[in-house]
Chain A
Amino acid sequence: MVMSGYLKQEDLAAWIDAISADHEVLAPQAQGNSVVFAPYVKGASLVFDRDATTSPKRSVFPQSEPLMNYTYKKDPEDLGKVDLELVEAPAPKPTVVVGSRPCGARGFLAFDRVYYGKTVTDVPYLRHRQNTAFITMACSEPETTCFCHWVGSGPDDAEGSDVLLTPVAGGYFAKAVTEKGEALLAKATVSSDAGKEDEAKAVVQKCKDALGESPDLSTAPARLLERFDDMTFWEAMASKCISCGACTYLCPTCYCFTITDEICGSGGSRIRSWDNCMSFQFTLEASGHNPRPTKAHRLKNRVGHKFSYYPTIHDGNISCCGCGRCIKSCPVSVDIREIVLSAMEPSQEAAND
């Protein structure tokens, strides 16, 4: 088994082609002015030099998919008698995500704690999860929106990845992280080159240095809860928010969904699709009552969930991977870093006294 080695740039396409022979491959591709994870077809040109606009979330958590299909069947002998047939959705195809950044691959760890939790095993999710592997591209330079180091990660974080590629001169230093990754890397033409491993380390170190120091977020869970009733604060933070779902749908760790029925004739599907806490309808009750009636309430929930409620119930893990998509693609540049830091402010003042 190949554990690590040097993969030449010119051998990359052949490797991805080999993988795509028996896997669905999702890889970042330019569409319009965006880079999105899309199904790979042989010869497609892939974009690895910057992170994709969308996250690789759809690989494991599709934008929309049937949980089950149903059919109403009339009894030909007794037309008043209608039977119902339920069929579970078919198992997903084995999938490999190529070219996600460490933050994107790591996002699913936030899902895992919930979808495979103390009380429930989300079988449809785990079917995808077990069927998906990540060949991840380590980062050589941070963008202005990057803050993975704030949330306990970094440019070469291999958690959640199966193979980690680090860009080096002429190609990549490739390293298998899991058994699944070893099997994938075995399909590649790699050579041993000790010098490349050192070069990869230097590339990552340079990126780490560029990221700089991170603030201490350990007081964030408590501070955000203390801020819960401070609606003046949340209204100020949410003034410019337009309550759309761009932040959540691009986020690698946002896992909320809705379940709706679609019907056509005598059958249809019960569908799970992305939903988001920024939407008014998300918590709207049939009575008309809404516990999160304004965008300020909803933004509070989004930030609070990631940096307070989730860490409190999941061993301190922050439900944010620091990819910065919510900042970069927000139509009005709402900056979640700024909100968390602002919420923490009183404690910093107190510390300075």
Chain B
Amino acid sequence: MSTVFDLQAKIKELLPDLDCVIGWKQGYDPLHATPHFMRTEADVDSFIFNPLCVHNPATYLPSLKGKKVGIVVKGCDSRSVIELLQENLINRDDVVIFGLPCSGVVDISKINSAIEKKGLNPGRIESVEADDKTVRIAIDGQKIELAVADVAAPKCTVCRYHNAIESDHFFGDPLPATVENDEYADVAAIESMALADRFAMWNKEMERCIRCYACRNACPMCVCRDHCVAQSRDPHWLTQEDAISEKLFFQMIHAFHLAGRCTECGECQRACPVNIPILTFKRKINKELKELFDYTAGVDLEAKPPLLAFKVEEDNINERGW
């Protein structure tokens, strides 16, 4: 608790020099946190930090370029900030980074499933207490206790960066790593499927896509913003037809555009209103990038993302050898 208190004190101290500081507060019900743009001391008082703070505030930074802003980041969020800095999409001098250790955030859809399994309606939530280990929910007169580990966001189960990697002010005690390596087991499992089955699975998943592009807009690295090929007529790569091929094609474009840039913050998948597991596409590409270039996005401010660099000889690409 004192971590949050210290953080709030620091934000209040620096707030006069900042346009705003982005963090989290409670949203429309006790289960939902919401991004919080702090501009006054009273705003800072309603700041919260717990495993319900699922959003990646780095998403907002490119659109605030030119303003002096503060941002509170978890380890994964800080990777997005680093990637944005690497690509010159934001200026380091304009951003004050308040770093936190994080032992994992929840996947709200997993909590909803857990509540539904008990025959209760997640929309009837009364109160929630969440700490590093446990989420305690009062709902419809009943109490449910869930271990954060059981309802953790998929990214947290393979997280190697619990602590903000880049920060101006770090609060709390850094957490030790819990996972040595991301083996991309989820991707490998899909890769082992027969091609036809894989295709059938994705067709089924993409069928319910409503083309709202929340996946794109929630992505901190989606930098084309208002000039995305999804709506463009020139180039006219996508039609407006309600066809799975169009929906899947957009995801392919998105994944390829993020090759070597995606920090796997999972916002695309979390934002999807119909829960399509689209982070998998990006993880597939990242798995390839890891194998080809031994590169992990957003962990080293000085590194050059492999597809933004040109080397005459790549170690793992046999250029003309075939």
Q: List A residues at the B interface (Cβ < 8 Å).
A: 31-34, 36, 38, 49-51, 53-54, 62-65, 141-146, 236, 239-240, 242-246, 248-250, 258, 260, 262, 269, 271, 273-274, 276, 279-281, 327-329, 331-335, 337-338
B231 A244 Cβ-Cβ under 8 A:
no
Quick check: A280 and B226 within 8 Å, CB to CB?
Answer: yes
CB distance from A85 to the nearest CB of B (A): 20
Question: Would you call B210 and A54 a contact (CB within 8 A)?
Answer: yes
Among A64, A248, A258, chain B packs the most CB atoms within 10 A around the CB of A64
Q: How far is the CB of A95 from chain B (nearest CB, A)?
A: 16
What separation, in Å, do the CA atoms of A139 and B276 have in the docked complex? 28
19 A-B residue pairs with Cβ-Cβ distance under 8 Å, sorted by A, are A31-B208, A34-B275, A36-B208, A51-B123, A63-B242, A144-B28, A239-B35, A240-B36, A242-B271, A244-B271, A246-B214, A248-B212, A273-B240, A273-B242, A281-B231, A331-B218, A331-B273, A333-B32, A338-B28
Kindly state the separation between the CA atoms of A334 and B225 in the bound complex, as whole angstroms: 20
Q: Decide if B27 is an interface residue (CB 8 Å cutoff).
A: yes
Looking across the interface, which residue of chain B has its beta carbon closest to that of A140?
A: B121
Assuming A53-B273, A327-B28, is B240 touching A279 (CB within 8 A)?
Answer: no
Query: Contact at B37–A240, with CB atoms within 8 Å?
Result: yes
* New contact pairs (9) apart from A242-B217, A333-B33, CB-CB < 8 Å: A33-B110, A54-B274, A63-B210, A141-B121, A240-B34, A245-B210, A260-B233, A331-B267, A334-B34
User: Does B59 interact with chain A (Cβ within 8 Å)?
Assistant: yes
Report yes or no: A332 in contact with B208, Cβ–Cβ below 8 A: no
Query: Which residue of B205, B210, B241 contacts A271 across the interface (Cβ within 8 Å)?
Result: B241
Partner of B271, one of A246, A260, A262: A246
- Smallest CB gap from B274: residue in A: A34
* Interface residue B8 (Cβ < 8 Å from any Cβ of A): no
Q: Compute how far the CA of A62 lies from the CA of B211 in the bound complex, rounded to whole angstroms.
A: 13
Q: Is the CB of A33 within 8 A of B109?
A: yes
Distance of A157 Cα from B212 Cα, bound (Å): 29
Residue positions of B touching A, CB distance < 8 A? 20, 27-29, 32-37, 39, 55, 59-60, 109-110, 112-113, 116, 121-125, 140, 204-205, 207-208, 210-214, 216-218, 225-226, 231, 233, 239-242, 267, 270-271, 273-277
Q: Given the complex of chains A and B, what is the CA–CA distance between A53 and B37 in angstroms?
A: 28
Contact A249 B226 (CB under 8 A): no
Tell me the bound Cα distance from A49 to B271 in angstroms: 24
Q: Which A residues are CB-close (under 8 A) to B60?
A: 239-240
Whether A335 contacts B27 in the complex (CB less than 8 A), given A64-B242, A249-B212, comes out as: yes
What is the chain B residue whose CB lies nearest that of A259? B240
Q: A36-B274, A242-B214 are in contact. Are A328 and B123 (CB under 8 A)?
A: yes
B37 in contact with A239 (CB, 8 Å): yes
Chain B residue at minimum C-beta to C-beta distance from A327 = B28
In the assembled complex, the CB of A63 is this many whole angstroms from the nearest CB of chain B, namely 5
User: What is the chain B residue whose CB lies nearest that of A146?
Assistant: B123
Q: CB within 8 A of A143: which of B59, B124, B204, B240?
A: B124
In the complex, which of the residues A145, A242, A327, A337 has the most CB atoms of chain B within 10 Å of its own CB atom? A242
> A258: which B residues are within 8 A, CB to CB?
240
B274 lies within 8 A of A141 (CB): no
Chain B residues with CB under 8 Å of A246's CB are: 210, 212, 214, 271, 273
Q: Which residues of B contact A144 (CB under 8 A)?
A: 28-29, 123-125
Instruction: Decide: A332 and B55 in contact? CB cutoff 8 A.
Output: yes
The answer for the CA separation of A37 and B110 in the assembled complex, in Å, is: 21
Q: Are B274 and A32 neighbours in the complex by a CB distance under 8 Å?
A: yes
What's the nearest-Cβ distance from chain B to residue A60, in Å? 14
Cα–Cα, bound, A313→B241 (Å):
32
Residues of B within 8 A of A54 (CB): 208, 210, 274
A243 to B55, CA, bound (A): 15
- A333 B212 Cβ-Cβ under 8 A: no
Q: Which residues of B contact A63 (CB under 8 A)?
A: 210-211, 242
Q: How far is the CB of A320 from chain B (nearest CB, A)?
A: 15
Distance in Å: Cβ of A286 to nearest Cβ of chain B: 11
Residues of A within 8 A of B204 (CB): 31
- Expressed in whole angstroms, the minimum distance between the Cβ of B188 and any Cβ of chain A is 21
B113 touches A33 (CB 8 A): yes
Instruction: Find the A residue at minimum CB distance from B241.
Output: A64
Chain A residues within 8 Å of B32, by CB: 333
B271 touches A335 (CB 8 A): no
A271 touches B270 (CB 8 A): no
Roughly how many angstroms separate A340 CA and B277 CA in the complex, as a whole number? 33
A163 CB → nearest B CB, Å = 23
A208 CB to nearest chain B CB (Å): 15
Please pick, from A145, A271, A279, the residue contacting B231 in the complex, using a CB distance under 8 A: A279
Give the distance to chain B from A215, nearest Cβ to Cβ, in Å.
Answer: 15
Nearest B residue to A248 via CB reads B212
Taking CB atoms, residues of chain A closer than 8 Å to B218 are 242, 244, 331-332
A334 and chain B: residue at smallest CB distance: B34
Q: With A144-B29, A244-B218, A246-B212 given, is the CB distance from A32 to B205 under 8 Å?
A: yes
> From B29, which residue of chain A is reached at the shortest CB distance?
A144
Minimum CB–CB distance for B138 against chain A, Å? 13
Docked-complex contact A245 and B55, CB < 8 angstroms: no
Write out the residue numbers on chain B whose beta carbons fall within 8 Å of the beta carbon of A337.
28
- Please state if A250 and B273 are interface contacts (CB–CB under 8 Å): yes
The CA-CA distance from A34 to B37 in the complex, in Å, is 30
**Cα(A166)–Cα(B112), bound, Å:** 24
A145 & B211 in contact (Cβ 8 Å cutoff): no
Chain A residues with CB under 8 A of B34: 240, 332-334
Complex: A50 Cα to B116 Cα, angstroms: 10
Chain A residues with Cβ below 8 Å from B208 are 31-32, 34, 36, 38, 54
Residue of A nearest to B34 (CB): A333
Which residues does chain A contribute within 8 Å of B216, judged by CB atoms? Answer: 244
Contact between A32 and B275, CB atoms less than 8 A apart? yes
Q: Are B241 and A274 in contact (CB under 8 A)?
A: no
